[in-house]
Amino acid sequence: MRKIRSTLITAATWVLVAIFFFPIAWMVFTSLKTEGDAASIPPKFIAALSFDQYAIVFNRGMGSYLLNSLTASVGSTLLVLLLAIPAAYALSIRPIKRVQDVLFFFISTRFLPAAASILPVFFILKTIGALDNITALGLLYAAMNLPIAVWMMRSFFNEVPLEIVEAAQIDGANLRTELVRVVLPILLPGIAAVALICFIFSWNEYFLATLLTTFQARTTPPFLASFVDGRGQFLAVLSAASTLAVLPVIIAGWVAQKQLVRGLAMGAVK
Amino acid sequence: MSAVTEVPSKLSPPPGRAGGRKRGGLNEAHGRWASYLITPSLVILGVVIGYPVVSAIIMSFQKDAGLDKATGLFVAGGFAGFSNYAHWLLQQCVSTTGVTSACPPGNLGAQFWNAFGTTFFFTAVTVVLETVIGMWMALIMNRAFRGRGLVRAAILVPWAIPTAVTAKLWYFIFAFNGILNSVLGAKILWTSDEWAAKFAIIIADTWKTTPFMALLILAGLQLIPEEVYEAGVMDGASTVQRFFQLTLPLVRPALMVAILFRVLDALRMFDLPQILTGGGGGTGNATTTLSILVVDQIRQGFNSASALSTITFLVIFIVAFLFVRFLGANVVQTQANQQKGVLK
């Protein structure tokens, strides 16, 4: 009886997973069809497959949008780590005065809709000639992810046993050696989680990208959103473009799956 | 701004740890070091987030500069008082000659309460659906079964992919000749009928975010010790009783935080309706959220758009405050605990 029940639950779970995963599988499947097969009514479940649509997507210049996305995401993630690790360390291990105020300041930026600051940001970028500029966009992404990163990173720092730090101090290690040699190795999984989440958020960001870039610095999400084809049939090409946009996130998530799950639960971010 | 003083009191570290972090060895040099470490982050946030928000609030009290239609002369901006706010909240439009009257139909100002209602409707329905289905998924995933790790990774995919892809994906599923109508054998105009468009957004958002919700709840479930359930079984509690009397109260803190963050996020919804139904849907504003209205207004007048964005910000802030105040969403403490649960 018990065994039957557990088998049923396992089966139900897999059905659930199938439902959640189906649209993505369908997208990948469609990207391998010809436009004719992709547009057929009712939808075809068996079709000839090829990578032709991917060639078309790259011929239409998707490479440069992917590269822009990659630049902004990797650049902002590195900047966030550079800023967030020392800040979280200061907030966790060396309590500064008014630490609660600083923490509240960080979390309060989560109440903020991006729409609330977009206009002044637009005017500032226009004044300094940085509209449609991938460096400016990367910098904005860094600021967008910084509070979450500091917040998450601090939770990881709180897990570092104080005794280790104290032992290092007694040994006469100065603050910097203490940070690099003693604390960092314990924190590497945490850093991986923060980096992954910052990367995903930057890679997926649409609001700022669509309003602050036009062509030179256009990233993948706004490119996808405005993807239309004059000749009517473009479902297979669009699926190929979407699959390319999803791929880096899936790969990064797969590689660091455990860190991602852990980091999400800690940051409870989005 | 009592919220500012309210939340930090909840930020205090767990008892027993408060003193532990502040050690005798902490001297002035160390304190200075700490300030150096944290200053760059604060400066960046101040410049990139703080300054624009303050300057948007200032803009919201100014008049748009432009040509006076009656005289053809250029009129400088200047102080507008609360007229930009009245434009949204009371649908009052100020003509270039300075006469205040009700906004004509079709004016964006007239859409405010509609967008306000739509935003809260989306938020309420999606969060309830995501919480209920997410709870069910979390309870399933909390059991040990073959391939649990794979399931956990697979269901996170909808959350991790760009919303632009989600919207396009569902755009074709919802197409008139698309797969959903063909499976249902129905002829529903998913992206243009008023209520169908609303539900299209809700379905797509639920699909995207439920797995994430499930993961957060799961992190809370894993904190509940096995013995609690064993005791429940010994006392002869049924499965349903165990859920309502043991699981739910114990998972409540994690649940509240997850719901708070989902609500804040849903109130800002932009990408999904903007791409899936072109921002409008139905009669043209069936899926217009507050954030979409801000962007629409930017094309018509900056100062008025600033007023709307400030209103949106305040609405979200008030909701967050009420949550923390009355429903006891203890953000910091819960996250510290959750992390321990996941580390297990």
- Which chain B residue's Cα is nearest to A12? B140
- Of the pLDDT bands very low, low, confident and very high (cuts 50, 70, 90), residue A266 is low
Mutate to test the interface with B, among A40, A104, A259 (most CBs of B within 10 A): A104
Q: For residue B317, what pLDDT is reported?
A: 85
Span A147-163, average pLDDT: 78
Alpha carbons A255 and A261: distance in angstroms, whole number? 12
The residues spanned by each domain of chain A are 60-269
Q: For residue A23, what pLDDT is reported?
A: 86
- Of the pLDDT bands very low, low, confident and very high (cuts 50, 70, 90), residue B6 is very low
Q: How far is CA B196 from CA B15, B128, B175, B282, B328, in A?
A: 51, 19, 12, 8, 35
Task: Mark yes or no for CB contact A111/B177 under 8 Å.
Answer: no
> What digits encode the pLDDT tens for the residues B309-328?
888 888 888 888 888 777 66
Asked whether residue A73 carries a pLDDT value surpassing 90, the answer given is yes
Q: Maximum CA pair distance of chain B? A: 86
Mean pLDDT of the residues in chain A = 82
Task: Mark yes or no for CB contact B44/A221 under 8 Å.
Answer: no
Report CA torsion sign: B91, B95, B101, B107. negative
Q: Six-digit token pair at B237?
A: 């509690």
Mean pLDDT of the residues in chain B = 76
Q: How far is CA B43 from the centre of its chain?
A: 26
Mutate to test the interface with B, among A118, A154, A257 (most CBs of B within 10 A): A118
Alpha carbons B196 and B60: distance in angstroms, whole number? 35
Q: Six-digit token pair at A174?
A: 């100065």
Note whether B303 and B295 are within 8 A (CB).
no
Span B247-261, average pLDDT: 82
CA-wise closest residue to A52 among A237, A192, A244, A214 = A237
Asked whether residue B53 carries a pLDDT value surpassing 50, the answer given is yes
Of residues A113, A120, A155, nearest to B268 (C-beta): A113
Note whether A201 and A144 are within 8 A (CB).
yes
> What digits encode the pLDDT tens for the residues A19-54?
888 888 888 998 998 887 887 766 777 778 888 889
A250 and B CB contact within 8 Å: yes
The residues spanned by each domain of chain B are 15-59, 66-108, 109-343
* DSSP state at residue B163: H
Alpha helices, DSSP H, located in chain A: 2-31, 35-38, 52-59, 62-92, 99-108, 118-127, 134-158, 162-170, 175-177, 184-204, 207-212, 220-225, 235-255, 257-267
Q: For residue B223, what pLDDT is reported?
A: 74
Chain A residues within 8 A of B162 when measuring between CB atoms:
203-204, 206, 220-221, 224, 245-246, 249
Chain B residues within 8 A of A6 when measuring between CB atoms:
143, 145
Span B157-165, average pLDDT: 89
CA-wise closest residue to B182 among A35, A41, A33, A18 = A41
Give the residue carrying structure tokens 């998913």: B190
Q: For residue A97, what pLDDT is reported?
A: 62
Note whether A212 and A4 are within 8 A (CB).
no
pTM of the model: 0.82
> What digits encode the pLDDT tens for the residues A116-148?
788 889 989 999 998 999 999 999 999 988 988
- Of the pLDDT bands very low, low, confident and very high (cuts 50, 70, 90), residue A254 is confident
Task: Mark yes or no for CB contact A115/B156 under 8 Å.
Answer: no
Q: How close does chain B come to A98, measured CA to CA in Å?
A: 10
Contacts of A230 by beta carbon, 8 Å cutoff, 6+ apart: none
Q: What is the 3-state secondary structure (H, E, C) of A193-235?
A: HHHHHHHHHHHHCCHHHHHHCCCCCCCHHHHHHCCCCCCCCCH
Q: How close does chain B come to A23, measured CA to CA in Å?
A: 7
* DSSP state at residue B69: T
Alpha carbons A260 and A196: distance in angstroms, whole number? 7
Tally of residues, chain B: 344
> What digits encode the pLDDT tens for the residues A178-192?
667 777 777 787 888
- Of the pLDDT bands very low, low, confident and very high (cuts 50, 70, 90), residue A194 is confident
| CATH architecture of the region A60-269 | Orthogonal Bundle (1.10)
Mutate to test the interface with B, among A96, A128, A139, A180 (most CBs of B within 10 A): A96
| CATH architecture of the region B109-343 | Orthogonal Bundle (1.10)
CA angle B149, B153, B154 (to 5 degrees): 115
Contacts within 8 Å (CB) and 24+ apart, A52-58? A53/A236, A53/A237, A53/A239, A53/A240, A54/A240, A54/A244, A56/A237, A56/A240, A57/A237, A57/A240, A57/A241, A57/A244
* DSSP state at residue B312: H
Asked whether residue A75 carries a pLDDT value surpassing 80, the answer given is yes
Of residues A26, A95, A120, nearest to B52 (C-beta): A120
Looking at this predicted complex, what is its ipTM?
A: 0.84
Alpha carbons A77 and A98: distance in angstroms, whole number? 27
R_g of chain B, CA atoms, integer Å: 25
Alpha carbons A124 and B61: distance in angstroms, whole number? 19
B4 and A CB contact within 8 Å: yes
Q: How far is CA A136 from CA A29, A140, A247, in A?
A: 37, 6, 25
